[in-house]
Amino acid sequence: MVAMQECIFCKISSGELPAKIVYTDRDVIAFEDINKEAPVHVLVIPKKHIPGANKVDKGNIELLGRLVYVASKIAKDKKIESSGYRLVINSGKDAGQDVLHMHLHLLGGRKFTWPPG
């Protein structure tokens, strides 16, 4: 497991690394993805280091609901609420999770295919 002091998303949430922050509160921060896959591509993360979906437990279950809630508010701000958007959590190797700090991708501003690639 990546140590928290080496985690890029922990560094973004503490302000040690720069990012284009679009939302922040006590527990959640959201920022523009550095390599956008869609016109809107924002990452919504817990400030607390949770490595991924496998590490969700009863102690942080409510926090994860808040990630979706915050994403829906950002979708409204970005005016993609009615056109639609996709929320993605990659978990592990097969899904292509690169950063081992749990994050919700908010993707929108274009049409997506289903099933995903």
Instruction: Give me the residues that bind ligand 5GP (CB under 6 A), please.
Output: 8, 19, 31-35, 43, 90, 96-99
* Short-list 109, 90, 95, 96, CA closest to 43: 90
Query: Which residues neighbour 98 within 8 Å (Cβ) at sequence distance 6 or greater?
Result: 90
Work out how close the CB of 80 gets to ligand 5GP at its nearest, in angstroms, rounded to a whole number.
Answer: 18
- Taking the C-alpha atoms of residue 53 and residue 101, their distance in angstroms, rounded to an integer, is 9
Work out how close the CB of 8 gets to ligand 5GP at its nearest, in angstroms, rounded to a whole number.
Answer: 5
**Chain residues 45-104 in contact with Zn ion, contact rule CB under 5 A:** 49, 101
Q: Identify which of residues 8 and 82 has a Cβ nearer to ligand 5GP in the complex.
A: 8
Please tell me whether residue 46 adopts helix, strand or coil conformation.
strand
27 binds, among ligand 5GP, Zn ion, none (CB under 5 to 8 A by kind): none
**Chain residues 6-45 in contact with Zn ion, contact rule CB under 5 A:** 7, 9-10
Q: Are 80 and 108 in contact (CB under 8 A)?
A: yes
Please tell me whether residue 55 adopts helix, strand or coil conformation.
helix
Q: Is 41 a catalytic residue?
A: no
Work out how close the CB of 18 gets to ligand 5GP at its nearest, in angstroms, rounded to a whole number.
Answer: 8
Half-sphere exposure of 62 (CA within 13 A, CB side): 2
Residues that bind Zn ion (CB under 5 A): 7, 9-10, 49, 101
**Among all residues, which ones are annotated catalytic?**
103
